[in-house]
Amino acid sequence: GRHSMLPRHMQRLGRDWIAHWNGSQILALNSPVSNCMRWAGQYPWASFPLPVPVDFSANWRLPPFFGPWRQFQNSNWQLDNFTQSSCFHLPNPSMKSEGEEPLTKKRRLSGQHDTSTSEEETNLSSQKEALCLSVGQNEEKHSSKKGTVKRHWEYFCQHSRTMKIFENKETDQSNTENEAKFDFTVMSYNILSQNLLEGNSHLYKHCRQRLLIWTYRFPNILQEIKQLDADVLCLQEVQEDHYRTEIKSSLESLGYHCEYKMRTGRKPDGCAICFKTSKFSLISSNPVEFFRHDIPLLDRDNVGLVLLLQPRFHCKTNAAICIANTHLLYNPRRGDIKLTQLAMLLAEIASVAPQQDGTFCPVIICGDFNSVPGSPLYRFIKEGKLNYEGLAIGKVSGQEQFPRGQRILPIPIWPKKLGISQNCVYEIKQQQKEENAGEKLEAAELDNTQEIVIASEKLSSKLQHHFKLSSVYSHYFPETGIPEVTTCHSRSAVTVDYIFYSAANDDTVGQPGAEDSFHGGLKLLGRLALLTEKDLWTVNGLPNENNSSDHLPLLAEFRLIER
């Protein structure tokens, strides 16, 4: 009679799969767990370790050695140890221990603390930050539950905790020196259009059918976006009807303003850029269509989107950040189309990003480029130049080890009437720039000059762009050399998604570029680590029960550096 509540409580635990720890942490299990629960270590009611497998069924009863429920409740139970040795799933990929906020949110909120925080708290936070990487790696080793793979934050700056810019109207931002520092996070995420999923079902033979239904997938995707809590979202494969009916409104309820560009063809998906209105205001939105009815080469319906954003903080100059998002053509044998689409996107960025002093504002380019690290297309983005003479059309993206497209790229790749030069700028705007600089020529001389330029470009096999871009990710794990992957399905597991950014001069992570033509730049503070193919197949690849796209979200934290 004394412990009559015990069986009923544990029956409820087994039936509903919900456990409340100290009233603050709820573990919600959406699927049964069988024969994998272990109680590790020694506890007050037991005089020996308990590596006993337990089958949580509806008829399960607590063994008699567990003792009184009150003693069980009041024991010194450490949830982080419990999760490391059990099959409970914490939905948050960055949850550290009982009662804590998600890591990214905690880092963001840390900036809201009063400046009079004690030195002890400061030292404690520094120690936590220094240990974060090793803690995250330790968690990843212990996350053996099917359907769960943990990702940790990698920091590149000793003091890289996000500084929150207060939206409080009563706060006088102009009086604080710290407001010269503007930290923000950017996510790139191909969320897998339902239309494309159903049209390419052969890629998802490894998945249970119930996991591929949109009504199952969307709550998972939305929850992932909530937990990672990025200030800017660059989303690909956003299906138009889903965007209109639920994605847009859901993101707006989280404080985002959304801009969207649908593909020009029959496949109803597109690219979206969403930003927190508390951090940015919109200066301009510039969609890019890669289809041109008058150019046979450009017969594909991919699109891009370029936004110019104004940070909401006080600074000496009118700082701006250019955010671009795209999804290039998939076809591995059409490198000519891929390079032309990329040149069109770069030309649009070059027309949006210039400042009054002639330099470019900081640029971030996100997207699914359908190209692998080290490929000619990838090197062109990072190095700012590409000599494509003699390059096989099927080798541009590096997607196929033995490409079937052996046709050599033509010189030039795209026709003159596209209006984009080999420097990836709009030729009309380039001419206007020269006129504004006082370099006007007489009509006859100008015609002759244009003929010479056209003739030389036809003979030139060199592409260039004026941006100094670095990749957030290094694409290989330094300890092992094993490749990182951003997508994993039945046919392949590779990196095709990227976040490129214009690195500031003091950014030790970014690689040096060919030209320093930026107004300040961006310093990479940290990134959400990627995984290996082996890691992902331990949870049955992508999509799976907890990750509802065939791509992983990429996430990086930047600091705006003014020059």
Neighbours of 169 (CB within 10 A): 6
The pLDDT tens digits for 231-241 are 999 999 999 99
Is the model's pLDDT at 482 over the cut of 90? yes
Confidence of residue 2 (pLDDT cuts 50, 70, 90): very low
161 versus 165: the higher-pLDDT residue is 161
pTM over 0.95: no
Which DSSP helix (H) or strand (E) runs through 51? none
The pLDDT of residue 85 is above 90: no
Going by pLDDT thresholds of 50, 70 and 90, the confidence category of residue 195 is very high
Closest CA to 230 of 172, 260, 272: 272
The type of residue at 332 is: P
Q: Between these two residues, 500 and 562, which has the higher pLDDT value?
A: 500
pLDDT exceeds 50 at position 96: no
pLDDT of 528: 98
3-state secondary structure of 433: helix
The secondary element (H helix, E strand) that includes residue 128 is: helix 119-142
For residues 365 and 328, the answer to whether their CB atoms sit within 8 Å is: no
Q: Is a pLDDT exceeding 60 seen at residue 276? A: yes
Question: Per-residue pLDDT for 94 more than 90?
Answer: no
> Which residue in 256, 263, 247 sits closest to 282, CA to CA?
256
List for the chain the helix, strand, coil content (%; round to 5): 30, 20, 45
Dihedral of alpha carbons 476, 373, 363, 106, sign: negative
pLDDT of residue 31: 41
49-53, 195-199, 250-254, 267-271 — which is least confidently predicted? Answer: 49-53
What integer pLDDT is reported at residue 181 of this predicted model?
82
More confident: 475 or 113: 475
Per the CB < 8 A criterion, the answer to whether 504 and 521 are in contact is yes
Contact 84, 139 (CB under 8 A): yes
Nearest C-alpha neighbor of 428 from the set 515, 345, 350, 359: 350
- Contacts of range 82-86, beta carbons closer than 8 Å, 24 or more positions apart: 82/40, 83/142, 84/138, 84/139, 84/142, 85/38, 85/40, 85/142, 86/36, 86/37, 86/38, 86/40
Q: Across residues 206-223, what is the average pLDDT?
A: 98
> Between these two residues, 92 and 219, which has the higher pLDDT value?
219
Using CA atoms, how far residue 467 sits from 270, 351, 555, 562, in Å, is 25, 12, 21, 17
Determine which of 80-84, 176-180, 218-222, 477-481 has the lowest per-residue pLDDT on average.
Answer: 80-84
As a whole number of angstroms, the distance between CA 524 and CA 554 comes to: 14
Please state, in angstroms and rounded to a whole number, the distance separating the CA atoms of residues 554 and 527.
8
Phi, psi angle pair for 244, to nearest 5°: -70, -40
Judged against a pLDDT cut of 80, whether residue 552 lies above it is answered with yes
Place of tokens 């020059």: 563
HEC readout, 489-540: CCCCEECCEEEEEEECCCCCCCCCCCCCCECCEEEEEEEECCECHHHHHCCC
Contact 69, 86 (CB under 8 A): no
Q: What angle do CA 285, 289, 291 make, to 5 degrees?
A: 175
pLDDT at 533: 98
For residue 371, the surrounding DSSP H or E stretch is none
The SS3 of residue 19 is strand
Give the Cα separation of 72 and 91 in Å (integer).
25
Which residues, in sequence order, are CB contacts of 437 under 8 Å at separation 6+? none
pLDDT band at 109 (very low <50, low <70, confident <90, very high): very low
Burial 55-94 (b: 16+ CB within 10 A, else e): ebeeebebeeebbeeeebeeeebebbebbbebbbbbbbbb
84-103 average pLDDT score: 36
Give the pLDDT confidence of 418-477 residue by residue, as tens digits: 999 999 999 976 566 555 655 555 554 555 555 544 444 446 899 999 999 999 999 999
| 167 has a pLDDT exceeding 90 | no
Q: Is 333 in contact with 393 (CB distance < 8 Å)?
A: yes
Mean pLDDT of 551-560: 97
- Residues contacting 356, CB < 8 A, separation 6+: none
- What pLDDT shows up at residue 50? 37
Q: For the residues 17-29, what does the mean pLDDT come to?
A: 40
Residue (of 368, 345, 338) closest to 487 by Cα position: 368
pLDDT of residue 447: 55
Calpha distance 121→115 (Å, rounded): 11
Q: What is the mean pLDDT of the chain?
A: 76
CA angle 117/122/128 to nearest 5° reads 140
Of the two residues 42 and 307, the one the predictor is more confident about is 307
Per-domain residue ranges of the chain = 180-426+461-561
Provide CB contacts within 8 A for 517, sequence distance 6+: 359, 360, 466, 468
User: How confident is the model at residue 34, as a pLDDT?
Assistant: 39
Distance (Å, whole) CA 184 – CA 166: 13
Q: How far apart are the first and last CA of the chain?
A: 75
180-426+461-561 has which fold? Deoxyribonuclease I; Chain A (3.60.10)
Confidence of residue 20 (pLDDT cuts 50, 70, 90): very low
- Each residue's pLDDT tens digit, 35-84: 333 333 333 333 334 343 444 444 444 444 444 443 434 444 333 333 33
Residue 326 · residue 341 · CB < 8 Å: yes
Residue 54 β-bridge partners: 37
Give Cα 272 distance to the centre of its chain.
13
Tokens describing residue 475: 């694409």
- Average pLDDT on 535-547 reads 97
Residues 6+ apart with CB under 8 A from 549: 189, 190, 191, 192, 217, 221, 542, 543
What distance in Å separates the CA atoms of residue 464 and residue 227, rounded to the nearest whole number? 39
| pLDDT at residue 165, rounded to an integer | 35
CB-based contact 277:255 (threshold 8 Å) = yes
Which positions ≥6 away from 505 have C-beta within 8 Å?
516, 521
User: Could you tell me the pLDDT band of residue 562, with boundaries at 50, 70 and 90?
Assistant: confident
- Note the pLDDT of residue 157: 72
The whole-number pLDDT of residue 438 equals 53
User: 163: which residues sit within 8 A by CB, 6+ positions away?
Assistant: 111, 178, 181, 182, 183
pLDDT bin (cut points 50, 70, 90) of residue 160 is low
Residue 319: the pLDDT is: 87
Please name every residue paired with 522 in a beta bridge, in sequence order, or none if there are none. 503, 560
